């Protein structure tokens, strides 16, 4: 970008403050935020008239007030598709790690206060995943990639989505569609959350819905923490009403509910599902393509608001 444009960079690799963002939007023609930069109404209403594009470095755009951007005629783009496989890999890793107690076993081996005395037939027992029912909440790119991996591990694929996928895809994945999320949740052994965070999906897995899950069920979330009522999840785990959870995202990041961190039933990761060198390079290339297309007077390929053009 420095070769193509007059560019100012955030060299500290940390979220910009609101004051820093306001200062940026007052002079920038294009803003490139990450998912931790909150581009809300308070920021956008102070933007100069020259700001015409927000090229988000990330797939999710819940960090941007899209309505205010639309009303001010500011185009918003993202970087879809490039993180699908990385996120699906991590989702599958958590689907394996939680029932098989992988993190718990690794922590035991590293603990200087414990001494492993060797194999025994009844120690550190988990559960196999083959033959279990996996319920995918959100059957977009990532949900489908998770389904393909899970099918290879012998899981039965079930899903809930705003729209039913094609019959050909259902046949390929041997996937069962559930119109009712409540009914699916009550019958699954593992739930994988793969839907975006929008006003409609905030606490989609509410306290009421979490109580529908079987006490032997596991939850894996690599989407957005706001989709799950985190306090109720912590309470159910503490009460033994859920078998475990694999969480890469949290409701109030970077703050993490200490009750979740204290639980042996939880595998907690620091929002690293997309953290591969290859993925970050691909994201950057998409950002540059979107900006270059816009600067050349063309429609950027990854428009979140195509109707604005």
Task: List the catalytic residue out of 101, 224, 265, 303.
Answer: 224
Active site residue 298: no
Could you give the CA distance from residue 41 to residue 46 in angstroms, rounded to a whole number?
9
- Helix then strand then coil, in percent of the chain rounded to 5, is 35, 15, 50
Quote the DSSP letter at residue 267: E
Active site residue 224: yes
Could you give the CA distance from residue 63 to residue 34 in angstroms, rounded to a whole number?
8
| Residues β-bridged to residue 135 | 158, 191
Residue among 15, 61, 29, 64 nearest 44 (CA): 64
For residue 156, give both structure tokens. 């039965």
How big is the CA angle at 28 (ends 22 and 34), to the nearest 5 degrees? Answer: 65
Give the DSSP letter string of 83-114: THHHHHHHHHHHHHHHHHTHHHHHHHHH-TT-
Could you give the CA distance from residue 37 to residue 181 in angstroms, rounded to a whole number?
32
Contacts of 23 (CB under 8 A, 6+ apart): none
Residue among 98, 97, 95, 99 nearest 148 (CA): 95
Active site residue 164: no
Give residue 181's region: left, alpha or beta (phi > 0; psi -120 to 50).
Answer: alpha
Task: List the catalytic residue out of 100, 141, 259, 271.
Answer: 271
Angle between helices 141-152 and 84-100 (to 10 degrees): 50
Angle between helices 102-110 and 84-100 (to 10 degrees): 70
Task: List the catalytic residue out of 38, 127, 253, 305.
Answer: 253
Enzyme catalytic residues: 224, 253, 271
């Amino acid at each position: 970008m420095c070769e193509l444009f007059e560019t100012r960079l955030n060299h500290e690799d940390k979220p910009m403050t609101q004051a820093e963002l306001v200062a940026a939007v007052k002079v920038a023609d294009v803003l490139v935020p990450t998912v931790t930069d909150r581009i809300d109404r308070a920021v956008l209403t102070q933007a100069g008239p020259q700001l015409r594009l927000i090229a988000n470095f990330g797939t999710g755009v819940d960090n941007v007030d899209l309505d205010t951007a639309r009303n001010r005629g500011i185009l918003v783009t993202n970087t879809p598709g490039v993180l699908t496989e990385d996120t699906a890999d991590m989702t599958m890793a958590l689907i394996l790690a939680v029932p098989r107690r992988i993190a718990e076993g690794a922590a035991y081996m590293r603990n200087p206060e414990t001494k492993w005395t060797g194999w025994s037939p009844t120690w550190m027992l988990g559960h196999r995943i083959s033959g279990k029912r996996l319920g995918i909440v959100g059957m977009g790119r990532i949900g489908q990639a998770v389904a393909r991996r899970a099918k290879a591990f012998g899981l039965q694929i079930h899903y809930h989505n705003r729209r039913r996928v094609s019959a050909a895809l259902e046949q390929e994945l041997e996937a069962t569609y559930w119109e009712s999320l409540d009914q699916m949740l009550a019958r699954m052994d593992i739930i994988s959350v793969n839907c975006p965070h929008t006003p409609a999906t905030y606490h989609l897995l509410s306290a009421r819905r979490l109580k529908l899950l079987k006490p032997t069920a596991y939850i894996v979330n690599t989407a957005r923490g706001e989709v799950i009522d985190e306090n109720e999840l912590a309470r159910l785990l503490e009460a033994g009403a859920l078998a475990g959870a694999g969480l890469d995202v949290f409701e109030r990041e970077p703050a993490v509910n200490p009750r979740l961190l204290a639980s042996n039933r939880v595998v907690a990761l620091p929002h690293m599902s997309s953290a591969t060198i290859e993925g970050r390079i691909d994201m950057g290339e998409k950002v540059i393509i979107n900006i270059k297309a816009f600067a050349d007077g063309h429609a950027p390929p990854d428009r979140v608001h195509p109707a604005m053009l």
